[in-house]
Amino acid sequence: MSTSTDHGRPGAVAGTEAEPPVQHATAPSHAERCRTLAQRARTATLCTLARDPAGYPYGSLVTVAVDAHGRPLLLLSALAEHTGNLKARLEASLLVAEPAEGRTDPLALGRMTLLGPCRPLEGADAASARTTFLAAHPRASYYVDFTDFSFYRLDPVSIRYVGGFGRMSWVDAADYAAAEPDPLACDAARILEHMNTDHADAVLAYAKALAGIKDATGATMTSVDRYGFELDVITPAGPKAARLAFGAPVSTSDEVRKAMVALVREARGRSA
């Protein structure tokens, strides 16, 4: 996995610009982040190679589900332009983006592009895709048996991940297939809303006492996963980012609650 964080700030002299402090807390790998994005995805942008005008990338909105290996499953009509493109050329990519869920900067959201051949499925593979797809999209049952619809699967050969500013890499397809989606993904939005709305004082205490940002005047929890959570912190000098780890990985909302309480006690103990 190669990474790149070489964005330059206006007016900076190469090699002299001070970087913000890095919080060395355990975090999901980029492969894990990609699998979590895939697991949550219900829509995506499918890019195929156009037939006319030939060779241009053709993007279209599609509904999507993923199988146990994170491979995207699509239910496509033969009447659609992208399906005709795939029949001529299998090469495709699929852009999947994190739901905004109230966040104001779309470029701070996680997204990935999966690249690989996208082929129609037959027999047992098509039957398995049908079960998985309809579980994610029950309304598709109204047209799944139309004769012009077929299931397709994109088999990733590489994945490009961008998790916001300064967090990006190419993810190996084998690492992606082996990674596990985050178990908190479905509950994360609710957990964040609860912490930011009902426990804003605790979130600020995390920033000051545990992240070491003592001049923090406000803090918002922006993400949570099995390993910990991330903060957007307001200071007189400008915004700062921080990440804090749980004492041990968690997998349920109740375990998150207990871990948050333990960290509040630690934060207040350090501030005493």
Percentage above 90 pLDDT, the chain: 81
Q: Where are the extended beta strands (E) located within the chain?
A: 2-3, 43-51, 54-63, 65-66, 72-77, 91-97, 111-120, 149-154, 158-162, 168-172, 218-224, 228-234, 240-245
Q: Can you give the pLDDT at residue 72?
A: 98
Token pair of 41, please? 């995805």
Q: Is beta strand 91-97 parallel, antiparallel or unpaired with respect to 111-120?
A: antiparallel
Confidence of residue 21 (pLDDT cuts 50, 70, 90): very low
pLDDT for the residue 271: 77
This prediction has a pTM of 0.84
Average pLDDT on 68-78 reads 97
Instruction: Give the whole-angstrom CA distance, residue 59 versus residue 113.
Output: 12
> How large is the C-alpha radius of gyration of the chain?
21
**Over 50: is that where the pLDDT of 12 sits?**
no
What does 139-158 look like in DSSP terms, one character per residue? GGGGTTTSTTEEEEEE--SE
What mean pLDDT is predicted for residues 168-186?
A: 96
**Averaged pLDDT, 63-74:** 97
pLDDT value of position 100? 73
Confidence band of 174 (pLDDT split at 50, 70, 90): very high
Position 98 scores a pLDDT of 87
Phi/psi zone of residue 91: left (φ > 0), alpha (ψ -120 to 50 degrees), beta?
A: beta
Neighbours of 126 (CB within 10 A): 15
pLDDT at position 170 is 97
- Considering the chain, what is the average pLDDT of its residues? 90
- Of the listed ranges 23-32, 78-87, 144-153, 195-204, the least confidently predicted one is 23-32
Give the number of C-alpha atoms closer than 13 A to the C-alpha of residue 180, restricted to the C-beta side: 7
Confidence of residue 24 (pLDDT cuts 50, 70, 90): low
Taking Cα atoms as reference points, which of 109, 107, 97 lies closest to residue 40? 97
Cα separation of 148 and 78, whole Å? 5
pLDDT computed for residue 42 by the predictor: 96
| Confidence check: pLDDT of 205 > 50 | yes
pLDDT tens digits, 92-109: 999 999 877 666 677 878
Residue 175 has pLDDT above 90, yes or no: yes
State both tokens at 245: 């780890």
CA gap 204, 32 in Å, rounded: 28
Taking residues 206-226, report their average pLDDT: 95
Query: 3-state SS string over 200-232?
Result: HHHHHHHHHHHCCCCCCCEEEEEEECCCEEEEE
pLDDT greater than 70 at residue 257? yes
Would you say 224 and 203 are in contact if contact means Cβ atoms under 8 Å apart?
Answer: no
